[in-house]
Amino acid sequence: MKFQIIPLLASLVLPSTAFAVSFDTESFGARLNGWKKDRTAVYSFTDAKYRTHSPTITFSPSGTMFLSTQVDMLALSGKGAVCQVGLTISPAGVLEGAQIKGSIGNKSLDTGLIRRPEAPAAAVPSEGTSTVPVRLVSATDEMITELFVRFDTEMKKFTEGKGTLRSDLFSRMSGNNVKSADLSGGLRHNVNLMLQYVSR
């Protein structure tokens, strides 16, 4: 009896990660000029230089994956931006949440957590027909758009009220004409690539 119970208990505590979503870290790094020995990738994108750190991957007991990476925008003066990109992926490989936190000099920014939008409500049947509204843009695309709308809003806080003649924040910090739009572009590049290498 004792030997029959042990296999049963073992089957109950086995993690479900054997069927969980996965992330191809090596292919992601290869698209960013390859991982160096310190597990970072240094590359140029949108006229700026970046360093992406190898992502950290953790799973919840239900198999949901939390994928996070640090993206540094490098600057000649040693000052730049450090951002953390976090993505929450369901066991089915669906993006459920996204967030960017960062620091620029001694200031910080946070987009807050962007959650997957709810499915559109079914339309009320008319004259015996039933129609369901079609979402013209995918929920994932909506989330990414909202993420960077919030990011751009956060970036504007650094320059508001300083006058129209003020140079771009990153131009002043780095001296190499890097624009704040480049940071948004570099982060979006990382998010898009991360999603490409999520699979089941």
pLDDT digits (tens, 9 = 90+) for 53-73: 999 999 999 999 999 999 999
Task: Please name which of 123, 121, 114 lies closest in space to residue 141, comparing C-alpha atoms.
Answer: 114
CA distance 147 to 142: 9
Q: How confident is the model at residue 182 (pLDDT cuts 50, 70, 90)?
A: confident
Look over the chain and give the mean of its residue pLDDT values, rounded to a whole number. Answer: 80
Q: How confident is the model at residue 181 (pLDDT cuts 50, 70, 90)?
A: confident
pLDDT digits (tens, 9 = 90+) for 87-111: 999 999 999 999 999 998 778 999 9
Number of structural domains in the chain:
1
Identify whether 41 is part of a domain: yes
Average pLDDT over residues 74-91: 86
| Cα angle, residue 86 at apex, residues 54 and 76 outer, rounded to 5° | 60
Handedness of CA 119, 125, 126, 130 (dihedral sign): positive
Q: How confident is the model at residue 15 (pLDDT cuts 50, 70, 90)?
A: very low
Identify whether 31 is part of a domain: yes
Identify whether 89 is part of a domain: yes
Average pLDDT over residues 162-173: 45
Identify whether 4 is part of a domain: no
CA distance 144 to 157: 20
Phi/psi of residue 181, nearest 5 degrees: -60, -30
Lowest mean pLDDT among 124-128, 129-133, 151-155, 170-174: 170-174
CB contact set of 163 (below 8 Å; sequence gap of 6+) = none
Higher pLDDT among residues 58 and 159, named by residue: 58
What is the domain range of residue 39?
Answer: 19-117+137-199
Identify whether 82 is part of a domain: yes
43: phi > 0 → left, psi -120 to 50 → alpha, else beta; which? Answer: beta
